[in-house]
Amino acid sequence: VFVGDPETGELLAHIPLGLTANLAVSRDDRFVYAAVYAGDVFQTGLVEIDTRTDQVTRRIDGSAGGQGAAVGFDVALNPAGNRIWLTTQDVDPADPGTSLLIDPLRWQVLQSFPRPVPPGTETRWVQAATFHPHGKLLYQARDDDIDVYIIR
């Protein structure tokens, strides 16, 4: 992740994470959340970056849902800023991982969501995710479909 000055174009910082699939910014601009797909410095999953220090402050492993090994692929922050959704990709299709609902204040996985694999397929390609403006629904693109999750 590179931090730059938009007015001067000057590079202010480089935060080495590895291959970062997507980013989300907290409502107060205090934190950036990065989905790490392939880790050079950090293992895969979700990292929190403090925008005041440009340092990684916390990390959640992509496999924290308790099922198969998974890597971070997409991250979405709900409109209230009190829930993060981490979409993951499976490392091994025979052992699928889960998508994670995370509380960013307590930095805790609240719930993991198994991703169904369509019959006759080996791999389930999950892509972008976004919260509905009221924050109670999450839409996650998958293959040629969209999964909808109710967030309570």
CA-to-CA distance for 145 and 126, rounded, in angstroms? 10
Q: Any idea what DSSP says for residue 45?
A: E
* pTM of the model as a whole: 0.85
Q: What proportion of the chain, given as a percentage, has pLDDT over 70?
A: 79
Contact 77, 33 (CB under 8 A): yes
Q: Provide CB contacts within 8 A for 120, sequence distance 6+.
A: none
In the chain, what percentage of residues exceed pLDDT 90?
Answer: 43
Q: Given a cut of 80, is residue 122 above it in pLDDT?
A: no
Residues forming beta bridges with residue 38, ordered by sequence position: 19
CB within 8 Å of 42: residues ≥ 6 apart = 17, 18, 36, 56, 59
Q: Is 109 helix (H, G, I), strand (E, B) or coil?
A: strand
Question: How do residues 34-69 score in pLDDT, each as one tens digit?
Answer: 998 876 555 778 999 999 999 999 998 877 666 555
> According to the model, what pLDDT value does residue 87 have?
85
Determine the average pLDDT of the residues in 77-98: 83
Signed CA dihedral, 61, 65, 66, 70: sign only: negative
Q: How far is CA 69 from the centre of its chain?
A: 15
